[in-house]
Amino acid sequence: MGELTSEKRYPPLAEQVSDALDGDDRAALLSAIEDVHPADVADVLEQIKPAAREDFVRLAASDFPADVLPELEEGLRDDIVNLVDPGYLADAVGEMESDDAVYLVENLDEDLRRDVLDALPTADRIGIERSLEFPEHSAGRIMQRDVVAVPPFWNVGQTIDSLRSREDLPETFYEIIVIDPSYKPVGTVSLSRIMGSRRPVMIEAIMDDDFRSLGVEDPSDEIAYAFNQYHLVSAPVIDADGRLAGVITIDDALEVLGEETEEDMLLLAGVGDEELTDSVFEIARQRLPWLAVNLATAILASLVIAQFDAVIESVVALAILMTIVASMGGNAGTQTLTVAVRALATKDLTTTNAMRIVSREGLVGLFNGLVFAVIMGGLTWAWYGDPALGGVLGVAMVINMLVAALAGILIPIGLEKLGADPALASAVFVTTVTDVVGFLAFLGLAAAILL
For position 342, which CATH number holds? 1.10.357.20
Query: Domain of 183?
Result: 149-268
CA distance 69 to 46: 12
Q: Which bin fits 349, alpha (ψ -120 to 50), beta or left (φ > 0)?
A: beta
CATH of the domain at 172: 3.10.580.10
Separation CA 438–CA 451 (nearest Å): 19
Nearest to 141 by CA among 175, 106, 97, 184: 106
Q: 268, 295, 328 — which closes off a domain?
A: 268
What CA–CA distance (Å, rounded) separates 88 from 94? 10
User: How much is the average pLDDT of 231-246?
Assistant: 94
How far is CA 94 from each of CA 46, 66, 135, 300, rounded to the nearest angstrom?
25, 10, 22, 57
Domain boundary among 268, 295, 315: 268
- Verify that 263 and 284 share a domain, yes or no: no
Last residue of a domain, one of 100, 135, 170: 135
Q: Which pLDDT band, with edges at 50, 70 and 90, does 71 fall under?
A: confident
Average pLDDT over residues 435-447: 91
Is residue 140 in a domain? no
Domain-embedded: residue 361? yes
Most confident stretch, 19-23, 88-92, 341-345, 403-407: 403-407
Give 270's pLDDT tier (boundaries 50, 70, 90).
Answer: low
Select the more confidently predicted residue: 120 or 358: 358
Residue 141 falls within a domain, yes or no? no
Coil, helix or strand at residue 224 = helix
Q: Are 300 and 441 part of one and the same domain?
A: yes
Separation between Cα atoms, residue 206 and residue 106, nearest integer Å = 39
What are the phi and psi torsion angles at 124 (to 5°)? -65, -40
Of the ranges 219-233, 271-285, 396-410, 423-437, which is most confident? 396-410
206 domain-assigned: yes
- Does residue 143 fall inside a structural domain? no
Q: What is the pLDDT of residues 202-216, one digit of tens each?
A: 999 999 999 999 999
The domain tally of the chain equals 3
Residues 230 and 108 in one domain: no
Check whether residue 101 and residue 203 sit in a common domain: no
Considering the domain architecture, whether residues 430 and 319 belong to the same structural domain is answered as yes
φ, ψ for residue 190 (rounded to 5)? -75, 155
Examine residue 273 and state whether it is found in any structural domain, yes or no: no
**What CA–CA distance (Å, rounded) separates 207 from 175?**
10
Element at 175 (helix H, strand E): strand 175-179
Assign 403 a pLDDT band (cuts: 50, 70, 90).
Answer: very high
Looking at per-residue pLDDT, the higher value among 412 and 275 belongs to 412
> Given a cut of 50, is residue 10 above it in pLDDT?
no
Is the same domain home to 262 and 290? no
One domain, residues 250 and 106: no
- Identify the band that residue 401 occupies on the pLDDT scale cut at 50, 70 and 90: very high
Closest by Cα among 128, 331, 347, 312 to 229: 347
In this prediction, what percent of the chain has a pLDDT beyond 70?
A: 93
Does residue 275 lie in a domain region?
A: no
**Residues 17 and 45 grouped into a single domain:** yes
What pLDDT, on a 0 to 100 scale, did the predictor assign at position 8? 39
> Domain check: are 188 and 252 in the same one?
yes
Using the predicted structure, report yes or no on whether residue 175 has a pLDDT greater than 60.
yes
Q: Please check the confidence at residue 311 and state whether its pLDDT lies above 80.
A: yes
Q: Are residues 43 and 192 in the same domain?
A: no
**Res. 233: pLDDT tops 50:** yes
What integer pLDDT is reported at residue 1 of this predicted model? 39
Q: What is the pLDDT of residue 323?
A: 87
Instruction: Examine the domain organization and report whether 243 and 356 are in the same domain.
Output: no
**Torsion angle defined by CA atoms of residues 378, 380, 383 and 389, in that order, rounded to the nearest 10 degrees:** -120
Q: Is residue 104 part of a domain?
A: yes
**Same-domain status, 297 and 394:** yes
